[in-house]
Structure 1
Amino acid sequence: MKLNLPVAVEKAFKQLESCGFCGYLVGGCVRDFLLGTPPTDFDMTTDATPDEIIACFSDHRVVETGIRHGTVTVMIEGMAIEITTHRTEGDYSDNRRPDTVAFTRNLADDLARRDFTINAMAYHPKKGLIDLFAGSQDIKNKMIRCVGDPHKRMAEDALRILRGLRFAAVLGFTLETETGIAIRQNCGQLCYISAERIAAELDKLICGKNAKAIILAETTVLGVVIPELLPAKNFDQMNPHHCYDVLTHTAVAMETLAPVPRLRWAMLFHDLGKPATFTRDEAGVGHFKGHSKVSEAMARARLTALRIRKSIIDSVCLLIKYHDTLIESDKKSVKRWLNRLSEPLFRDLIAIKRGDNLAQAPEYRDRLASLQRLEVLLDQVIAEAACFSLKDLAVNGHDLIGLGITNGAEIGRILNRLLAGVMDEVYQNEKESLMEKAKEIHKC
């Protein structure tokens, strides 16, 4: 096996060799090469100690990114390459990090400490692939399997629980039987993991091509970090519009969306308020009045607890809030929604509505045609450079001040009235006529 490596990586190999050491590519980049996916990061392991690595690359910029654990980052031709000394690890008393780290000259010892076989392979340009735990075979079999005892691996570092599910979701792999059992039996240990690390894994997991299968099969595990999923599992909607229970509908709808975290988060939470709002009418049909509001509140609370960026949370919550709102298919309505959401978020809302409808009973997928018409109208409005925000209005606050209107609140009221009139095509977006309308509004 011969890999086509970037020049910077080849130079790193040669530099280590010139100093009397041996380096290996390791982990995700080797896995990605075998999967036929271009690696984005290149990590190396070596028999050189951290001090020896620093000395070896003295003519390059070196950052001591994790010196206590043997890791330094070397900058070669603009590429950051993490180089870590071969190491063994002691106990993990905090369920996250080893209490002690010991450096070793033995590559096999270093590979044996890693989480999954697909991440425990190494590569050297002359020696080829070093695969001591059959990771390449597990890639062929599309399987996630722990290195060594899976129960020990999960107990050492609880984040591996989510990493295992994330790899299964992203790669479309299945969990090896004992690895799956260990993940489920140890999932309670996720309480020891920081919110930021959990969120980083979940971002990738929900965007995976196999996210639906993992969410439905491993709800109990995911419920440790997203407990709002648990009531939705097998919750019968008792409504002819729906052919799935709440969680299955959610997972099916998610799969229709582009793998963008804000879209996937919005769809994951859009109906999780249904169990709390469920009622049945006299005919026994299920209804969920106010579920959007409850789902939005659930999403905001959970995503805030996961320390997800506020701008993402705000976008997710707007999409959930309006996911079930009827939108008229005309230009006036499109402009009003653009004013409310912005173009990117309005397009996201249409995608959410389409996915929601696609996950309903086939005979009730009647919204798809109107959503398509809505997209056509949206494209037309954008192409026409129509006015749908104050910045597009032909007059501004300075113009109104020129009319002698100095009160800020009054200026805001007039501008918003003018904008509403322009969006509803009552007024033309022309400065002269709008100034006259402004005078009339001010007098009212």
Structure 2
Amino acid sequence: MPTTSAWEVMKLSLPVPVKKAFKGLESCGFSGYLVGGCVRDYLLDTLPTDFDMTTDATPDEIISCFTGHRVLKTGIRHGTVTIILDGMAIEITTHRTEGDYSDSRHPDAVKFTKNLADDLARRDFTINAMAYHPQKGLIDRYGGAADIKNKIIRGVGDPHKRMAEDALRMLRGLRFAAVLGFDLDEETRIAIRQNCGQLANISAERIAAELNKLICGKNAKTIILEETTVLGVVIPELLPAKNFDQQNPHHCYDVLTHTAVAMQTLAPVPRLRWAMLFHDLGKPQTFTRDAAGVGHFKGHSKCSEAIARERLTALRMSNVTIDQVCALVKYHGTIIEEDKKSVKRWLNRLSEPLLRDLIAIKRGDNLAKASKHHDRLESLQRLEALLDQVIAEKACFSLKDLAVNGHDLMGLGIKNGEEIGRILNLLLAGVIDEVYENEKDSLIKKAKEMRTC
């Protein structure tokens, strides 16, 4: 738990709008407390970006305390009112207790209470069940501060009851462990594993939001390998990858361990981590052994791409994300030649950001193989240098960079859209391959020749 001086620092560092929220409630005879993530963040020496409060005031009373300020009532049915103070949105929620969770996600009934202790008792994990008041200090009934110090994720009260109430809490627990680098309390771990089948009742969007954060966590590798059964409820293809012996001298890990190790080499960017998570999940389906008993996975990239597209679509990811991840999975094993022409062709196919992502994927993939087979690292470094050079030279690798466009071809009397597209693509291919100069007069001349073909 922070020292008295640490709490004084926290008190002084509270944003002015938060101080106004405390004052607004107290001037009307009510008590307000910071709760949830902002308290947790202060204890982690992280400056919060969102501030949530709980209070003994009812929603109508909250609104009356902030007359003259903008009020959003979107969560008022559950007791939450958002107050806009000096441009900052602060969610203020009435202390409440909750009924049963018949759908494994939402309480059947919410009852307002004047008791802060009742409100804290309904929360998911101890690290989220603390409250703070500038004068009263930290209210920590469940040892959340100690669990933060000891890096433990522990359910509030009976973890089996907490997980059974709201199935999303299981993924939240894994996400917190992955992002914060904490361990799961053993009883909480057992509760998550025993109740994980209820994740099937959770909306795809909610699952995707948690997984996006989980896979980018600093402890993602450990969670993926230790909690495969839980994650397998939402990504079933993880299950056959676990302990799948690749039987190939290039690999020192089973498929899932290779995947998790490779993921951890990447920047915590969702599309990169998703691509690495899926890049080899097609291997169990494509495994064969040659006469010498060596394992091979012909066509696994195509199979992995299909798995990625199906699973990310089911999770209702954006089409842009799905296409980017699938492109990275599709090409993760494709050799890119070390020359400018090849780099420009790949830039045309993928764009600069995605080509850089592909190089990162290839590097991570190679780093997660047996150390004596890290043979592609130098090649990838040279390839990246070539990419930098092509970009620095502002080389033409897309139609927007071509010295001629559709209007120029229409000026030649070419009216058919398909014909214009065909000629422009032929001109671009010639420029990329350095057969033609990217110079307007020269390309117009070539276009005239192509029109007569």
Give me the TM-score of the superposition, normalised by structure 1. 0.99
Shift of 1:45: 0.3
User: Could you report, residue by residue, the CA deviation over 1:216-243 in whole angstroms, capped at 9, with x for unpaired residues?
Assistant: 0000010001001000000000001100
Matched, 1:199 2:208: yes
What residue in structure 1 maps to residue 59 of structure 2? 50
Distance 2:152 2:436 in 1: 63
Residue matched to 1:139: 148
Secondary structure of 1:416's counterpart equals helix
Deviation, structure 1 residue 336: 0.5
What amino acid is the match of 2:229?
T
Alpha-carbon displacement from aligned partner over 1:405-443 (angstroms, at most 9, x marks no partner)? 222222111111110111111111000111111112222
Structure 2 unaligned regions, length at least 5: 1-6
Residue number in structure 2 paired with 1:263: 272
Separation in structure 1 between the aligned mates of residue 355 and residue 49 of structure 2, nearest angstrom: 32
Q: Partner of 1:65: helix, strand, or coil?
A: coil
Amino acid of the structure 1 residue aligned with 2:450: I
Q: CA deviation at 1:194?
A: 0.7
Unmatched 5+ stretches in structure 1: none
Distance in 2 between the 1:441 and 1:399 partners? 14
d(CA) in 2 for partners of 1:443, 1:354: 46
2:289 alignment partner in structure 1? 280
Counterpart of 1:78 in structure 2 is 87
The partner residue of 1:428 within 437, 441, 444 is 437
Equivalent residue number for residue 191 of structure 2: 182
Q: Deviations over 1:79-100 (max 9, x none)?
A: 1100000011111111111111
1:35 alignment partner, one of 40, 44, 55: 44
Distance, in Å, in 2 between the alignment partners of 1:13 and 1:397 is 62
SS in 1 for 2:395: coil
Q: SS in structure 2 opposite 1:204?
A: helix
Aligned pair partner of 1:345 in 348, 351, 354: 354
Tell me, yes or no, if structure 1 residue 8 matches structure 2 residue 17. yes
Equivalenced residue count is 444
Q: TM-score of the superposition, structure 2-length normalised? A: 0.97
1:148 paired with 2:147, answer: no
* 1:246-278 Cα deviation digits (max 9, x unpaired): 000000000011111111110000000000000
Task: Give the equivalent residue in structure 1 for 2:32.
Answer: 23
What secondary structure sits across from 2:91 in the alignment?
strand
Question: Which one-letter code corresponds to 1:52 in the other structure?
Answer: E
Q: Which residue of 2 aligns with 1:114?
A: 123
Structure 2 counterpart of 1:63: 72
User: Which of 332, 342, 360 lines up with 2:341 in the alignment?
Assistant: 332
Which of the numbers 77, 91, 105 marks the counterpart of 2:114? Answer: 105
Q: How does 1:222-241 map to 2 (within 5 A)?
A: 222-241=231-250
The amino acid that maps onto 1:257 is L
Partner Cα separation in structure 2 for residue 211 and residue 106 of structure 1: 37
SS of the counterpart of 1:227? coil
CA distance in structure 1 between the aligned counterparts of 2:77 and 2:417, rounded to whole angstroms: 58
Q: What are the Cα deviations for residues 85-139 of structure 1, in whole angstroms up to 9, with x where unaligned?
A: 0011111111111111111111111101100000000111111111111100000
In 1: Cα distance, 2:20 partner to 2:382 partner: 55
Mapped partners of 1:356, 1:232: distance in 2 = 16
